């Protein structure tokens, strides 16, 4: 049974078996991100992050699209402000955008993007910020910023090369071409493909599987793995030592060891 725990105007959140499903909810504009939606998304992720009953999160979109990117009407409004304010207004907006992406990527719990339809521009960046991506059959993905005369501003230039390699990431970003699920799976942009009718159920089941372990061990593992490409082996070893020392003290570790010993001594 799915129970709604909070619903904003543009973000819906539900719980099922310890999995929070966060839904972008502007289906009339294919879930394009505006300022209010971004603020609600940040609040939703902060709340599920703090909720100990939540073990993992699925991020998806309402209707036929995952997220079409930034709201074009907002882009038009930016162009209408006085020329002397454009840069600073843009910098301020970017800080908010990056906070929204960071709260997804930095969540201490596994996050799975269930891409139910088009994921363009910022929408694809948000999916890439998740730990795992499952796309529905027929979904379309594009780093479409170049078609608006923009650079990828939602973390795609950081996340995409880590998934597909530098040269392929350059090609996808510089062309903005549409990628379909079969190619996306082959090149590592996504991790799984699912029928659209079972996409959310499949994502929620996967979320249960990857969050079944100790919450402390999962959180610490995520935090260390996310630093792997920027850190030396010595730095990762040191972080691992510190994390393991914490894990030694957890109730989950103690219970696991006691269960194993009791079983083997029987």
| Residue-wise pLDDT tens digits, 150-191 | 999 899 999 999 999 999 999 999 999 999 999 999 999 999
Domains and CATH numbers, the chain: 3-210 (3.90.226.10), 215-265 (1.10.12)
d(CA 64, CA 46): 26
> What is the residue-averaged pLDDT of the chain?
92
For the chain, the straight-line distance linking the first and the last C-alpha, in angstroms and rounded, comes to: 39
pLDDT tens, position by position, 108-147 = 999 999 999 999 999 999 999 999 999 999 999 999 999 9
Give the CA-trace dihedral at 194, 196, 200, 202, to 10 degrees.
-30
SS3 97: helix
pLDDT bucket at 54, cuts 50 / 70 / 90: very high
- What pLDDT, on a 0 to 100 scale, did the predictor assign at position 264? 60
d(CA 183, CA 92): 36
d(CA 157, CA 150): 12
Residue 137 sits at φ, ψ, to 5 deg, of -55, 130
Entry pTM: 0.90
pLDDT tens, position by position, 70-111 = 877 666 666 666 777 777 777 777 888 889 999 999 999 999
- Environment class of residue 37 by beta-carbon count within 10 Å: exposed (0-12), middle (13-18) or buried (19+)? buried
Reported in sequence order, the residue ranges of the chain that DSSP labels E, i.e. its strands, are 3-7, 11-16, 19-24, 56-61, 111-115, 119-120, 132-136, 141-142, 178-179, 192-194
pLDDT tens, position by position, 7-47 = 589 999 999 999 999 999 999 999 999 999 999 999 999 99
- pLDDT over 70 percentage in the chain: 92
């Amino acid at each position: 049974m799915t129970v709604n725990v909070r619903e904003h105007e543009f973000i819906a959140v539900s719980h099922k078996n310890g999995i929070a499903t966060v839904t972008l909810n502007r289906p009339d504009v294919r879930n394009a991100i505006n300022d209010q939606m971004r603020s609600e998304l940040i609040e939703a992720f902060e709340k599920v992050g703090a909720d100990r009953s939540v073990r993992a999160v699925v991020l998806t979109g309402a209707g036929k699209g995952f997220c079409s990117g930034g709201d074009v009407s907002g882009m038009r409004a930016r162009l209408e402000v006085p020329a002397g304010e454009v840069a600073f207004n843009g910098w301020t907006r970017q800080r908010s955008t990056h906070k929204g992406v960071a709260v997804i990527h930095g969540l201490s719990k596994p996050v799975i993007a269930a891409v139910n339809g088009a994921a363009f521009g910022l929408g694809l960046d948000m999916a890439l910020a998740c730990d795992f991506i499952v796309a529905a059959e027929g979904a379309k993905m594009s780093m479409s910023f170049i078609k608006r005369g923009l650079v990828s501003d939602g973390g795609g230039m950081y996340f995409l090369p880590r998934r597909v390699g530098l040269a392929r990431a350059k090609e996808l970003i510089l062309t903005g071409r549409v990628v379909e699920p079969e190619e996306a799976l082959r090149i590592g942009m996504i991790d799984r493909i699912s029928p659209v009718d079972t996409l959310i159920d499949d994502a929620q089941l996967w979320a249960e599987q990857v969050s079944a372990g100790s919450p402390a061990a999962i959180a610490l593992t995520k935090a260390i793995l996310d630093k792997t490409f920027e850190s030396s082996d010595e730095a990762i070893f040191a972080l691992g030592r510190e994390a393991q020392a914490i894990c030694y003290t957890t109730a989950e570790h103690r219970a696991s060891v006691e269960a194993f010993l009791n079983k083997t001594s029987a």
